[in-house]
């Protein structure tokens, strides 16, 4: 396996470690920049970089075209060779699972996606994902290094430190699933984290939040969740960001979590499908998005009211830490202005009227890949190839 420590060694004071860490964190770097950054002598830099280039660890970056989505270092100079190793992201979503394999610059090499039955169990989810993962690995171009870590997004409360799913009500069938079980399924180190947290990490690292230090990402999806980035770091912890369980009505239905009147019982995708389906039989999410795009009055009202509730919940989260940007992601963000406009209106209404710098309110830049790219960022961080908070 070629994690950062496997390649750099575990002595952070060694010249090899210092040079590799500087290139990882600040690359592309010229040899002169590298000497300035590390404080090492030019002759030492020359010797170390020559050895690392001969091993295929460092390479010269070509000038990359400006991209809307930055996934690799830009400019000329030395970079960590992207083909040295790979990482994978796995996103367990609403009835689907998505797998992406990326190089060390987070460029997507292969993706695979499969449908799952509604309320799929941990066993079904793991076996389908492991099959997709094996297919994806088989399709990775020759010469690309092996996957060192898999980041896994799950739509429920996660104890990140203990690497286990908390409870059983929000994610039925996944109670007490652990990172170790995912490691066994994929045959490579796996790290689990909540899906909204990873959507926030994905947008912060590669998407709409990459140029601000403090952002709130709201995932409007099978459940409603939020991920907080504060001073470039994901605020994790057991069950953080669960705004879907903010109470919005004292007389509402009892939520899957056991509380009454949670936001999820009004605005999650299952709740929206149930609300739209009153006069029809089965309704799919794509029917709801299509009817909203066509301006169907009833569906637009249901979706707009839900978006207002989500925006109001987001405003309460904003009052706690005043983010510079609020990023809306998830399948309902695909409805465009029919969702973004009522979401933003309710969010602004909930902020302090005299707020000096209200947050910008934008849609995510990674579309349906926010979460899986967050899982990729988690895998890069866990394997040491992306500095935490970078």
Closest CB 313 distance from Zn ion, rounded Å: 12
The pattern of x and - marking residues 192 through 231 that bind Zn ion according to CB under 5 A reads: ----------------------------------------
CB of 266 to Zn ion, least distance (A): 11
CB of 258 to Zn ion, least distance (A): 7
Residues 6+ apart with CB under 8 A from 239: 157, 158, 159, 166
Angle between helices 337-350 and 285-293 (to 10 degrees): 90
Strand ranges of the sheet holding 233-234, from the earlier edge strand across to the other edge = 233-234, 224-230, 215-220, 325-329, 360-363
* Closest distance to Zn ion from the beta carbon of 171 (Å): 12
d(Cα 336, Cα 338) in Å, to the nearest integer? 6
Nearer CB in complex with Zn ion: 82/155: 155
The closest of 206, 246, 214, 193 to 326, measured between CA atoms, is 214
Letters for 244-263 (x = contact with Zn ion by CB under 5 A, - = none) are -x---------x-x-x--x-
| Nearer residue to Zn ion within complex by CB, 171 or 373 | 171
Between 149 and 222, CB nearer to Zn ion: 222
In whole angstroms, the minimum distance from the beta carbon of 160 to Zn ion comes to 20
Structure tokens at 42: 């030019």
Q: Which is nearer to Zn ion, 259 or 348 (CB)?
A: 259
**String marking each residue 57-96 x if it binds Zn ion according to CB under 5 A:** ----------------------------------------
Asked whether 163 and 192 are in contact (CB, 8 A), the reply is yes
Quick one: tokens of 135?
């297919």
Do strands 224-230 and 215-220 pair parallel, antiparallel, or not at all (unpaired)? antiparallel
Q: Does 313 bind Zn ion (CB under 5 A)?
A: no
* Count, residues near Zn ion per rule CB under 5 A: 5
Residue found by looking up tokens 């799952």 in the block:
116
Phi, psi (degrees; rounded to nearest 5) at 115:
-75, 150
Kindly indicate which of the ranges 158-166, 190-198, 242-250, 342-350 contains the residues binding Zn ion, using the contact rule CB under 5 A: 242-250
261-300 residues near Zn ion, rule: CB under 5 A = 262
Closest distance to Zn ion from the beta carbon of 198 (Å): 20
Q: Which is nearer to Zn ion, 190 or 263 (CB)?
A: 263
Residues 6+ apart with CB under 8 A from 188: 1, 88, 147, 148, 149, 150
- Smallest distance from Zn ion to CB 310, Å: 14
CB of 245 to Zn ion, least distance (A): 4
Quick one: 170 or 229, whose CB is closer to Zn ion? 170
Nearer to Zn ion, 221 or 245 (CB): 245
Number of Cβ atoms within 10 Å of the Cβ of 335 = 22
Q: 217 or 268: whose CB is closer to Zn ion?
A: 268
Q: Which of 160, 195, 151, 165 is nearest to 331 (CA)?
A: 195
Contacting residues for 351 by C-beta, under 8 A, at least 6 apart: 315, 318, 319, 358
H helices of 322-369, in order, are 337-350
Region from 20-28, 101-109, 129-137, 240-248 binding Zn ion, contact rule CB under 5 A: 240-248
Contact set with Zn ion (CB under 5 A):
245, 255, 257, 259, 262
């Amino acid at each position: 396996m070629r994690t950062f420590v496997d390649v750099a060694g575990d002595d952070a004071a060694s010249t090899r470690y210092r040079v590799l860490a500087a290139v990882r964190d600040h690359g592309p770097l010229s040899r002169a920049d590298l000497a300035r950054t590390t404080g090492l002598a030019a002759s030492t830099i020359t010797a170390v970089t020559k050895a690392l280039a001969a091993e295929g660890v460092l390479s010269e970056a070509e000038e990359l075209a400006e991209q809307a989505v930055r996934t690799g270092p830009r400019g000329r100079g030395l970079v960590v060779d992207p083909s040295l190793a790979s990482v994978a992201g796995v996103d367990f979503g609403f009835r689907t699972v998505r797998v992406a394999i990326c190089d060390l610059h987070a460029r997507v090499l292969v993706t695979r996606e499969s449908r799952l039955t509604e309320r799929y169990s941990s066993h079904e989810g793991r076996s389908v994902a492991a099959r997709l993962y094996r297919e994806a690995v088989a399709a990775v171009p020759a010469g690309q290094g092996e996957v060192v870590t898999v980041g896994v997004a799950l739509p429920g409360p996660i104890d990140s430190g203990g690497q286990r799913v908390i409870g059983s009500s929000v994610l039925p069938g996944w109670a007490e699933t652990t990172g170790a079980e995912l490691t066994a399924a994929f045959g490579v180190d796996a790290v689990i984290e909540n899906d909204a947290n990873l959507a926030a990490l994905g947008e912060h690292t590669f998407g709409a939040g990459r140029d601000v230090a403090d952002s709130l990402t709201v995932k409007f999806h099978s459940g409603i969740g939020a991920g907080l980035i504060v001073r470039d770091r994901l605020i994790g912890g057991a069950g953080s960001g669960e705004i879907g369980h903010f109470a919005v009505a004292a007389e509402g239905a009892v939520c899957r979590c056991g509380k009454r009147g949670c936001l999820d019982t009004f605005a999650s995708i299952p709740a929206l499908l149930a609300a739209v389906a009153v006069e029809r039989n089965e309704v799919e999410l794509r029917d709801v998005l299509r009817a909203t795009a066509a301006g169907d009055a009833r569906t637009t009202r249901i979706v707009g009211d839900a978006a207002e509730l989500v925006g109001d919940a987001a405003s309460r989260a904003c009052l706690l830490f005043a983010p510079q940007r609020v990023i809306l992601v998830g399948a309902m963000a695909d409805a465009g202005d029919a969702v973004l406009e009522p979401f933003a209106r309710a969010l602004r209404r909930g902020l302090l009227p005299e707020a000096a710098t209200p947050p910008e309110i934008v849609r995510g830049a990674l579309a349906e890949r926010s979460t899986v790219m967050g899982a990729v960022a988690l895998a890069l961080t866990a394997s040491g190839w992306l500095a935490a908070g970078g």
